[in-house]
Structure 1
Amino acid sequence: MRRLLGITHLWRVFLACLLCVATPVLAQKEEGQRFEVLGDRLIFDSTVPVDGRELDIRYSDVEDMRDVLRRHPQITTLEINSTGGGHYPSVDLASLVIDFGLNTHVEDTCESSCVTVFLGGEKRTMARGGRLGFHQLSWTARAVEDYYNKNRDRRDWETPFEFAEWMYQDTQTETYTRINYMIARGVDPMFAVQTMRKPDVSMWFPYRSVLIAAGVLTE
């Protein structure tokens, strides 16, 4: 009887260990379902609608991601899925990635300003079938007109020509800042310049071999 009880106890211990090994790490949704903690990974899907609207990358994502990273110090990798969004919030997200020393990974797609966030990673990887999309800086005629009308008094633009002078200088500054950032993150300078050219299509999706050779992907 004593031997039988001993065997029963051993089976219980064995089953408990088996369950510990077999049970997957449960995902923990964070901040309006756009962030999900999965072990040492933070999954950020900016295509998830907020209040029924698809806003993509926005300023509130910066505060949300900072809070999640502070609450989960075990996170080492940001897995991002995004078709882009605000340029300046993306720059702020990239700063967080760099400051927390995260790796970055793309499972599906990362386009436009999302690439800025991705390049913040120390190690940068992409799943087979994933895509990284680049395009030059652009500003539609309607957006230019709206910006001028909203800001001409505050900036003392007496004529549209003064606005054009400012816009010409600002465009050069933004282009320099973007290229300089890419080079600082280990991207080949010639590739960085290529992302500024007007492509044959609206979005340029380089082959994996090109991304590795250019230093965009680290492996």
Structure 2
Amino acid sequence: MKTKPPIDVVVLRGLLFVALTGLAIVGVAMAMTDSTRVLRTTPPPEYELHLSEDGTSFRFTGLVDFGLTRDLRLLAQEHPEVKQLILDSRGGYIAEARGAVTVLQSQGIATHVERHCASACALIFAGGTARSLTPDARIGLHGYALRPDNMYFGMIDPRREMARDMDIYRAQQIAEPFVQKLAGLPQAPMWYPDHAALRSAGFVTLP
């Protein structure tokens, strides 16, 4: 006949089981918390910004996204001898475009477009100390409108936002009739002025 273990041994075994179960639950909770934290991590910016292979210019492609102002400032500080930014973008967040303009102006950087630059990218282009295009380049411009996704990023008054950017164009010596036309543009369709109009207005300053 087997003897039963003392009561204190049974109690200890029970306490050990409870403790191990608690640790397992905590581990699962921590894993779930870590997983949630990963899901909430800010996605990487949807652009590329780098020094050109020949070291004579910076190249920007993709969305004018959060972080561009910071990255452009750091790149300009690392390579103070580089004085040109080549743009290829369909646009993005206007607040980052304004920030990029401040970097261009403080560092004396010119802008150049080889292919396509529209919306917020066009504002960055206009902020260059000198502005040039290749023969096939296109500059796209449009007015502002309030959309549900804009409200989360400061676009709560399209007229006020447009007025701020018109002031940037004026500060860049772009002709007033051209600025007034920009102020009256609809959000769509995009307006692509020809090169002659861009040069006549001072939007493009180099041949």
1:63 Cα offset (Å): 1.4
C-alpha distance in 1 between matches for 2:125 and 2:76? 16
**Structure with larger Rg:** 2
CA distance in 1 between counterparts of 2:162 and 2:118 reads: 18
1:75-94 deviation line (CA, Å, top 9, x unaligned): 01111111100010110001
- Match of residue 56 from structure 2: 40
Q: Does structure 2 conserve the Cα–Cα contact (< 8 Å) formed by 1:105 and 1:118?
A: yes
Matches of 1:127 and 1:203 in 2, distance apart? 20
Aligned to 1:78, the other structure's residue is in SS state strand
Looking at structure 2, the residues matched to 137 and 200 of structure 1 have their Cα atoms a distance apart, in angstroms, of 5
Matched residue SS, 1:187: coil
Tell me if the contact between 1:36 and 1:44 (Cα under 8 Å) persists in the aligned partners: no
Supply the distance in 2 between the matched residues of 1:189 and 1:196 (Cα, whole angstroms): 10
Q: 1:202 aligns with which of 170, 180, 189?
A: 189
Q: 1:125 aligns with which of 122, 128, 132?
A: 132
| 1:87-137 deviation per Cα after TM superposition (whole angstroms, max 9, x unaligned) | 101100011011100111001111001111111111100001000000001
Give the corresponding residue for 2:163.
Answer: 176
Identity %: 24
Match of 1:186 among 158, 167, 173: 173
Alpha-carbon distance in 2 for matches of 1:78, 1:44: 7
Structure 2 gap ranges (5+): 1-46
Q: What CA deviation, in whole Å up to 9, does each residue of 1:7-28 have, x standing for no partner?
A: xxxxxxxxxxxxxxxxxxxxxx
Alignment of 1:12-91 (within 5 A): 33-37=48-52, 38-45=54-61, 47=62, 56-91=63-98
Normalised to the residue count of structure 2, the TM-score between the two structures is 0.69
CA distance 1:89–1:98, shift in 2 (3 Å): same
Moved over 6 A (4+): none
- Whether 1:99 aligns to 2:106 is yes
Amino acid aligned to 1:216: F
Where do 5+ consecutive residues of structure 1 fail to align? Answer: 1-31, 48-55, 152-166
Distance 1:66 1:105, change over 3 A: same
Give the alignment's Cα RMSD to 1 decimal.
Answer: 2.3
Write the distance in 2 (CA, Å) between the matches of 1:67 and 1:138.
Answer: 32
Query: What count of residue pairs does the alignment treat as equivalent?
Result: 158
